[in-house]
Amino acid sequence: MGRFLSVFDFDDTLAVSHGYIEVKKPDGTVKRYTSEEYVHYSPVSGDALHFSHLNDLHNPRLVTRVWGEFVSDVSHPDRDVVILTSRPRGASSSIRKLLHHMGVPVHMVEVMAIESGRPQDKARRIEEKILTGKYKQVRFIDDNHRNVEAVRELLDAHEIVSASVHLPHSELTVENLSEVCGEHFPSDEWAECVFLVP
């Protein structure tokens, strides 16, 4: 019986924070992109990219429902749990600190910071896992449609059984917010479906 691989994106899936990527243009102007905006950024010759602002977590707030699923998967003995983020490698220790702070056994979670916003790069990392032959089921949770599509294609190609791919944002409609977020639900905005990490 194969194991279950559970892969979670970090930004806007497990947590919301204020990190950004800085792009310095040849004329000296500087633009800032959130990790979500950066997915749609097309490199232009002469642009200088700075990822260092994504090494740290600024004012992280957990997306409670997805975080709950994450914690549940971590405690499941047959599941391997990965956080797969486009953030730079330096962000791994910040994310581990957050896990530790929240009481999650850090050694039970593999944090992969791949320093790339390309959906194919995320899919490739999951493929490396699949090729070990350990997994029969994969669950991938990401707020970005392009990442989800890339991984869905990959799972189809490998004929992974019972693969489930979720889009947290599509689930978090205004109608079901209070049900999903319970007492942590203070308003109609999905982004409020979080609680502050002290």
By the rule CB under 5 A, 12 interacts with Mg ion: yes
Q: Is the Cα dihedral 141, 95, 18, 50 positive or negative?
A: negative
Cα–Cα distance, 75 to 96 (Å, whole number)? 16
By the rule CB under 5 A, 73 interacts with Mg ion: no
Site string for Mg ion, 29-68 (x = CB under 5 A): ----------------------------------------
The secondary structure element, H or E, covering residue 89 is none
Helix extents (H) in 102-167: 119-130, 145-157
Total of residues contacting Mg ion (CB under 5 A): 5
Shortest separation between residue 10's beta carbon and Mg ion, angstroms: 7
Site string for Mg ion, 132-151 (x = CB under 5 A): -----------x--------
Helix, strand, or coil (residue 61): strand
Rg (CA), the chain: 17
By the rule CB under 5 A, 69 interacts with Mg ion: no
Shortest separation between residue 14's beta carbon and Mg ion, angstroms: 9
Residue in 8, 9, 94, 138 binding Mg ion, rule: CB under 5 A: 9
Q: Which residues pair with 111 in a beta bridge?
A: 83
Q: Which residues bind Mg ion (CB under 5 A)?
A: 9, 11-13, 143
